[in-house]
Chain A
Amino acid sequence: MDSGVPLWLLADEAYAPRRDKDAFIDRSILSFLSLLSRARARGGKETGKAGTDAFFKIVAVFLLLLLISLSRNRFFIATAGTAVLAVLASQRGEYLAAVLKTSAAVALFTSLILLPSALSGTAVPAFIIVVKVIISVSAVKLVSVSTEWSSVSGALRRLRIPNLFILVFDIALKYVALLGEFALSMLYALRLRSVGRNADKHAALSGIAGTLFLKSKEMAEEMYAAMECRGFSGEYLSSKRLRFGFREAALTAGMLVLVCIFVYLPGT
């Protein structure tokens, strides 16, 4: 090969970039970064004392959400809120930070949305909705940060959800992180080459999303081949036993108390 390096590569580029609106790249990158950091910290790190069994947590949080949503009694809401606060107080600092961030954001957002209504005379109901939202979101967020993702499918199975959904869910979880990393790399590649003004921003983003889909399809085919090779028959076997220890008992007891209070109080 004769190294005919072209002249323009030999000289430095005297280049002054023009303005362009490409915030979408950065915002997408941010989106994916936070997704991936969440995916990496899958919650429930093994520290010797295992967390509460996922099944209990999921059922408990669902029940809590239902009761809060149904409740028209302010005392009940206060009780539920205090209970959630107490549970939060017993959690690790990292979880608390995540929960606080989300509930603050959601509280702000909800307040803004309800502001017009509040101003036209329904301030108290609007406030109650905001409170309900804060409690609900905090509880859900806590469960989500403190639960090992892999244990969720076991919990779903016990809830008698059809096999196909659980399988799809499992696979999806695994690939959200993988594909997410790939998409992030592509976004970085786009960023690095966005050195000026892009007249067709869509093409780049479509290219990334499109390539992501093709990659997905490719991985799906590989996965299918691997499954075939290992004699996958379509059945999904779950071997984990239901753990029922102190924490689970405490949670169950707590929920029962809450239900009783709910039923007992007037106006519900």
Chain B
Amino acid sequence: MIGIVDYRAGNLTSVARALNYLGEECRITDDPEILAAASHIIFPGVGAAGEAMANLRERKLDDWIRKWVADGRPLLGICLGTQVIFAYSEENDTECLGLVPGAVRRFPELRGEDGRLLKIPHMGWNGVRFTREHPVFRDIPAGAEFYFVHSYYPAPAEDKWLIGETDYGRPFCSAVARNNLVAVQFHPEKSGRPGLKILANFCRWGGRDAE
């Protein structure tokens, strides 16, 4: 069973629908006992970092997630879930989970090729350059694009945790991997076939990095 962490951060049912389509059993819950029975944890979310961390602390899910990751079990962060995995977010000046050293920063005012200010949020389909092999990103075609909606982006403290990069005015980190943890800024559940492939790969992943 795949556990989907419910911490009142947006609508989590689209992740569950994608897993159902893939034939994976899943539960959306904030109950650590139910989550503990899961083989894999997906940590999604849409919204603001400050409220997300407050909700996690209130449900004592912050320490629970830290322990899950420390035990070497597989976790996939999506969008806001990815952002709160880092140590700090500029959004609401929030101290986050600290599972990956680094910070989450607001997109600065960037100009596109035509010299005009790029729109924020970064919303729509964009490519991801995967920088190395990883079981969760196996068999993803090089030109595949994914659906993004965000105004903040992750900046890992060290490049070794960056596994995917996307261009929006300049390159930013759109996928992260550290041991048994993978996290993506885009929405695999809304990214058509390549997104479903990532979810399917994750559900079959034992939690060991290819390195």
Q: Do A and B bind each other?
A: no
